[in-house]
């Protein structure tokens, strides 16, 4: 198996209180970060080894009917149903609420309303953020539903620019992540950035929370080079069932072996699946 050395941005050791404030036109994060060189293994030769409930991720063949992922109208029209259908079939969930999708581009990210690559070791939902979002989304999408016993947040990540990718996505194997790892990163949506970013915030301030991670040399990282638009990297963001793999830290990284003039362009789709 091929292994590359990738620079990954973890929380610095002294960074122990995380808050992110987002106001119109401005975003501030209290975290500080340090870059570590980590081995990242090519998962393609052993792709059949990975399962969602053991490792937290899987590479899956999946062809989409969407012809142009930079056309938001086409994506909104065709993609949510595709994604929800795939997740119900793959996981056996009873219902799926589609939450949001986002384009990312590693150069000129503003083109097609894209955002730059997410190059910090993170997970999109902490346990607290997942519980809050799962409850709210179920009430909104399924107001007459009977309730649920399990909520599974996932990301469906697809590259639609041609290979090779300059900034692939690295996924940390769940089996190498300790149960107590991860620092809650609370996102607050505010009108103005507060002067004291550590002051107590009103309970009614809207927002959610994810997790960021300090460096652990025992983390085992994988990536899948040369992805095509007919493949998806499907991975867990948070699973309320902690008897199986329930989250995976992940990050974009610069592949030092790739020289290409084509920037990576990708779409990520977040959902929560309910088991009733």
The pLDDT tens digits of the residues spanning 200-242 come to 777 666 567 899 999 999 999 999 999 999 999 999 999 999 9
List C-alpha distances in Å: 22 to 99, 206, 221.
19, 11, 30
The reported pLDDT for the residue numbered 149 is 98
Q: How confident is the model at residue 25 (pLDDT cuts 50, 70, 90)?
A: confident
Count of C-beta atoms within a 10 Å radius of residue 91: 18
Has residue 190 got a pLDDT over 90? no
Would you report the helix, strand and coil content of the chain in percent, each value rounded to 5?
A: 15, 35, 45
Sheet of strand 265-275, all strands in order from the earlier edge strand to the far edge: 57-61, 231-239, 150-159, 265-275, 95-105
List C-alpha distances in Å: 262 to 116, 161, 199, 254.
14, 8, 44, 13
Q: How confident is the model at residue 59 (pLDDT cuts 50, 70, 90)?
A: very high
The residue count of the chain comes to 276
Question: What is the pTM for the complete model shown?
Answer: 0.91
Task: Please report where in the chains the tokens 């009733």 appear, as a residue.
Answer: 276
Higher model confidence: residue 194 or residue 91? 91
Q: Two tokens at 38?
A: 């980590």
Cβ neighbours for 134, distance < 8 A, ≥ 6 positions apart:
148, 151, 153, 240, 272, 274
Has residue 198 got a pLDDT over 90? no
Torsional sign, CA 131, 134, 137, 141: negative
Domain spans, the chain: 6-45+54-275
The reported pLDDT for the residue numbered 115 is 63
Higher model confidence: residue 174 or residue 27? 174
The reported pLDDT for the residue numbered 160 is 95
């Amino acid at each position: 198996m091929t292994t590359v050395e990738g620079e990954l941005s973890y929380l610095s050791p002294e960074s122990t209180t995380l808050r992110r404030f987002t106001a119109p036109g401005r975003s501030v994060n209290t975290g500080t970060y340090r870059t570590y060189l980590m081995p990242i293994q090519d998962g393609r030769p052993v792709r059949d080894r990975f399962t969602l409930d053991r490792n937290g991720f899987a590479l899956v063949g999946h062809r989409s009917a969407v012809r142009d992922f930079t056309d938001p109208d086409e994506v909104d029209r065709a993609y949510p149903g595709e994604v929800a259908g795939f997740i119900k079939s793959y996981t056996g969930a009873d219902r799926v609420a589609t939450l949001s999708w986002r384009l990312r581009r590693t150069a000129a990210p503003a083109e097609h309303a894209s955002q730059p690559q997410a190059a910090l070791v993170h997970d999109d939902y902490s346990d607290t953020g997942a519980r809050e979002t799962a409850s709210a989304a179920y009430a909104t999408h399924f107001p007459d539903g009977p309730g649920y016993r399990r909520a599974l947040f996932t990301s469906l990540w697809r590259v639609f620019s041609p290979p090779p990718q300059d900034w692939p996505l690295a996924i940390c194997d769940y089996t190498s992540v300790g149960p107590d790892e991860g620092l809650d990163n609370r996102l607050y949506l505010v009108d103005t950035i507060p002067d004291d970013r550590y002051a107590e915030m009103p309970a009614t301030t809207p927002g959610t929370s994810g997790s960021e991670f300090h460096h652990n040399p025992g983390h085992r990282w994988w990536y899948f080079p040369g992805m095509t638009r007919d493949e998806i990297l499907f991975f867990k963001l948070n699973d309320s069932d902690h008897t199986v793999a329930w989250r995976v830290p992940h990050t974009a990284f610069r592949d030092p072996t790739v020289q290409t003039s084509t920037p990576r362009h990708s779409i990520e789709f977040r959902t929560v699946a309910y088991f009733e």
